[in-house]
């Protein structure tokens, strides 16, 4: 199970409504579909703008699935649950 753990990184910029919506949407989806098999890291680029360059982030919020590879990016407030699941392919694994 450890190997199958998803590593998700959510990049936000400050406490904007879009960022807050993305955080709560992501947590809800993961809790429903991947209980115990996920790890979420939220990075506030306003605190650490260098990371935006490092990870090539343009749009906010951006969700990056770092594991398993390949890396996938989703932008937006993640308001459509089905789309999020499809794009992260969270179900088939």
Task: Give the residues lining the site for another protein (CB under 8 A).
Answer: 11, 13, 16, 18, 21-22, 25, 45-46, 49-50, 52-53, 56-62, 71-80, 83-84, 87
- How far is Cα 56 from Cα 43, in angstroms, rounded to an integer? 13
For residues 88 and 30, the answer to whether their CB atoms sit within 8 Å is no
CB nearer another protein, residue 18 or residue 37? 18
Q: SS3 for 42?
A: strand
Two tokens, residue 9: 């990184």
CB of 1 to another protein, least distance (A): 26
- How far is Cα 31 from Cα 48, in angstroms, rounded to an integer? 27
CB nearer another protein, residue 16 or residue 40? 16
CB of 16 to another protein, least distance (A): 8
């Amino acid at each position: 199970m450890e190997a199958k753990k998803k590593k998700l990184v959510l990049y936000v910029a400050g406490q904007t409504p879009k960022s807050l919506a993305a955080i709560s949407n992501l947590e809800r989806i993961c809790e429903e579909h991947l209980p115990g098999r996920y790890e979420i890291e939220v990075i506030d680029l306003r605190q650490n703008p260098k990371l935006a360059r490092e990870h090539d982030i343009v749009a906010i919020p951006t969700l990056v699935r770092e594991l398993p590879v390949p890396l996938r990016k989703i932008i937006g407030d993640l308001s459509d649950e089905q789309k999020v699941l499809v794009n992260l392919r969270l179900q088939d694994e």
